[in-house]
Structure 1
Amino acid sequence: MKRTISYCLVYLATSVLLAGCNLIVFNPKGQVARDERDLIILATGLMLLVVIPVIVMMFVFAYRYRATNKKAKYSPRWASSHKIEAVVWGVPFLIICVLGWVTWETTHSLDPYRPLDSDTPPLNVQVVATDWKWLFIYPDLGIASVNELALPVNTPVSFTVTSDAAMTSFFIPALGGQIYAMAGMQTKLHLIANETGQFRGIAANYNGHGFSDMHFSTLSLTGADYEAWVNKVKSAPQKLDHASYAQLAKPSVAHRITYYSAVQERLFLDIVDKYEGMNKAPRAKDTQVQRNSDDTRADQQPSLLAEER
């Protein structure tokens, strides 16, 4: 009896503690995150159609056919029931069919490489994961920031993600989506923030002792506030070139937020090219050699040439 009371108290305390948790995945702030939340709820609900009846029947059968129940029907010659077979096989079959259709539809609609449907042009952001900080380059604005990402609300954002260190994962739970950052590769992610606020971004893949401090602030701002943020970054004294980036890329833990008012051209592509090997972009002075090089790179890595142009 005492043990039962203790278990009940533990379960009650756990429930109270969990009630204070902020389940950010179920409190989305963007359309992609909202669609992913609905998918999780739908898939879980469909699976519970089987799980809950099985759990209930387990207790019912255990109670009804206990050894002390002499009134329970005993049928030693019972072999099969077409009705039971239809339910046992039919219900899971229907659930699998529905889940398969849902998976097909959402795999395409929630593809991280798929641009979001919007009348507003997307904001391009290049993301570089280093040990242990996040660098955000705004190629259209010529600015960059470290451990702080600012986005205009209701504007689709096209992320191009790479790594200059160990592989990790770029994840903003409130906005949905998660994509790996790998050295020498570019991955794509499209998100949108439909509410203003400050959201936490994290590295969702363990990559060393600074992993727990490798997070950043995502600011979803109104148009005026976003312009003010851009102007603040443009007034920063620091500029990001290969020399300053080399210092920035050195391992550091809990790096402070840093702004760069100018970014050297091709810096992001040069970071990718460090690990490209045969695809490394040459620095030829001769125009014909450069043209031949571009043709070769177009065959080997079309996305790089398109990004460069």
Structure 2
Amino acid sequence: MRISKMLRLLTTSVVMIGTIALVSGCKSMIVFDPKGPIGSQQRDLINITMLLCLIILVPVMLIFAWIVWRFRDRKGNDAPYQPVWSHSTKLEVIWWSIPIIVILILALVTAHYTYALDPAKPIASDKKAVTIQATSLDWKWLFQYPDQGIATVNYLVIPAKTPIKFELTSDGPMNSFWVPQLGGMIYTMSGMATTMFLQADELGNYMGTGANFTGRDFAKMGFTTKAIAQADFDKWVNDAKASGNALSEEGYQTLAMPGTSEQMTFASIPDGLFHRIVHEYSMSRGAPPGYTRKAQTLSGEKKAEHTEGGQLPPGNGAQKDSPDMSSTGPGHAIQMLDHHTHMNHGK
């Protein structure tokens, strides 16, 4: 009996200590320490949601503890188990109406914040938004500043109290762009460009990361977002332009290859690079851009046009006339595989 009581006491103590540590730890969680208007609204939504849930959870847990204590089995109790069942309409109304009301309030609050926190919705400001084109690579981030004509790798510099318009895509596996203290995450996907507005209201350095598993070195896709004064931002742009380190088309192809990278700054970028990255995957496999056009396959020197649905028309002889890699030798087969990989990946 003593061992049983000690185990119960120990379990209760661990639960209480864990609960206190979890509640006190929320203060150090950066999601609950936002530094921008989007992050602040998202924190408010989380707090409101937790409060509404606690309205149900706390009374239920208290009643549960009281029932366990009130109807516990006592030592020497030999009374037979003969429950007396009863029904109370008043109690039924209470414990059904409260959850329904809470759910309705939660639905209204969620609908309001869903509209207010639309990632593509511009932030109201008297300052012009700064556009940054973010591309997730294996395993690094490329940030282009099209209006300033510069680019960085694995770090961001933004002016404080100024809306930032992020245009996001991926040249590789799907990832997630996330600066927790400024706002929620949004996916980066190959062949697509998504938009998200964020803003830093305070000067400082904020953690950024790729929040999606993308392979071997995905954990190293962290970056620092530096929010500085407008005058310092202008000076940084001028210093970046004066660095003389230009990003060429060939340089980007090298940068986009799988591998990690240190922080880098580029004094210039190729025109339209971001849009070419977005459209790269729609133009692979020999298909010109545009969903109204039919895709084409390249089999050696012979082109066979697809019919609707992506199926080859019967009797076109495309597969029959295509070169047989087993009969052309291993060297030629490797060249064909390299060419096929180049067509599919665009590199």
Global fold match (TM > 0.5) = yes
Structure 1: tracts of 5 or more residues without a match: 282-309
1:87 aligns with 2:94: yes
Task: Assess if the C-alpha contact under 8 Å between 1:30 and 1:176 holds in 2.
Answer: yes
1:168 aligned residue (175, 188, 206):
175
Deviation readout 1:270-297 (Å, 9 max, x if unpaired) = 111111235638xxxxxxxxxxxxxxxx
The correspondence of residues 67-106 of structure 1 with structure 2, limited to 5 A, is 67-68=73-74, 76-106=83-113
Instruction: Return closer, same or farther for 1:19/1:103 CA change in 2, 3 Å cut-off.
Output: closer
1:29 aligned to 2:38?
no
Residue pair 2:245, 2:267 contacting (<8 A) in 1 also: yes
Paired residue for 2:243?
236
Please tell me whether the aligned partners of residues 139 and 221 of structure 2 are also in contact (alpha carbons under 8 angstroms).
yes
Q: Amino acid of the residue matched to residue 66 of structure 2?
A: V
CA distance in 2, matches of 1:59, 1:160: 52
Cα deviation digits, residues 143-193 of structure 1 (max 9, x gap): 100011111000001100000010000000010121100001001111000
State the partner residue of 2:273: 267
> Residue in 2 aligned with 1:280?
289
Shift of 1:26: 0.3
1:61 aligned residue (61, 67, 71): 67
Match of 1:154 among 157, 161, 180: 161
User: Is the CA contact 1:149–1:218 (under 8 Å) kept in the aligned structure 2?
Assistant: yes
Measured after TM superposition, the shift of residue 128 of structure 1 is 0.5
Cα 1:21–1:165 shift into 2, 3 Å: farther
1:226 corresponds in structure 2 to 233
* Structure of higher CA gyration radius: 2
Question: Following TM superposition, by how much is the alpha carbon of 1:249 offset from its aligned partner in structure 2, in angstroms?
Answer: 0.7
> What do residues 245-283 of structure 1 show as CA deviations (whole Å, max 9, x unaligned)?
001111112x111011011101001111111235638xx
Q: In the alignment, which of 133, 136, 143 is matched to residue 129 of structure 1?
A: 136
Q: Any conservation in 2 of the 1:274–1:280 contact (CA below 8 Å)?
A: no
Letter in 1 for 2:71: Y
**Are the counterparts in 2 of residues 171 and 177 from structure 1 also a CA contact under 8 Å?**
yes
Q: Distance in 2 between matches of 1:268 and 1:135?
A: 10
Paired residue for 1:47? Answer: 53
**1:34-81: CA deviation from partner (whole Å, max 9, x where unpaired):** 1000100100110111111111111101111223398x9x99554311
Measured after TM superposition, the shift of residue 4 of structure 1 is 5.6
Matched, 1:257 2:266: no
Q: Using the TM superposition, give the Cα deviation of residue 16 of structure 1 relative to its aligned residue in structure 2, in angstroms.
A: 6.0
Report the residue type matching 1:245 in the other structure: Y
Residue 116 (structure 2) aligns with: 109
State the 1:21 CA deviation.
Answer: 7.9
Q: 1:191 aligns with which of 193, 198, 203?
A: 198
Match of 1:215 among 218, 222, 237: 222
Decide which moves more: 11-20 or 213-222: 11-20
Higher-RCO chain (CA-CA 8 Å, sequence separation at least 6) = 1
Question: Is residue 119–residue 197 contact of structure 2 (8 Å, CA) maintained in 1?
Answer: yes
**How big is the shift at 1:82?**
1.4
Question: Residue 296 of structure 2 corresponds to which residue in structure 1?
Answer: none
Query: 1:20 & 1:61 partners in 2: Cα distance?
Result: 31
Please give the root-mean-square deviation of Cα atoms over the aligned residues, in Å. 2.5
1:104 CA displacement: 0.9
In the alignment, residue 196 of structure 1 is paired with which amino acid?
L
| Counterpart-to-counterpart distance in 2, 1:135 and 1:242 | 14
- AA partner of residue 280 (structure 1): P
Percent identity between matched residues is 37
Q: CA deviation at 1:11?
A: 6.6
Match of 2:147 in 1: 140
Q: TM-score, normalised by structure 1?
A: 0.83
Give me the whole-angstrom Cα distance separating, in 2, the residues matched to 1:249 and 1:193: 29
Which secondary structure does the structure 1 equivalent of 2:28 belong to?
coil
Q: 1:102 to 1:166 in 2, by over 3 A?
A: same
**CA–CA separation in structure 2 for the residues paired with 1:179 and 1:173:** 11
Match of 2:315 in 1: none
SS of the aligned residue for 1:244 comes to: helix
Contact 2:155 2:225 in 1 (8 A): yes
Distance 1:45 1:14 in 2: 16
Separation in structure 2 between the aligned mates of residue 27 and residue 123 of structure 1, nearest angstrom: 24
Q: Which amino acid aligns with 2:40?
A: R
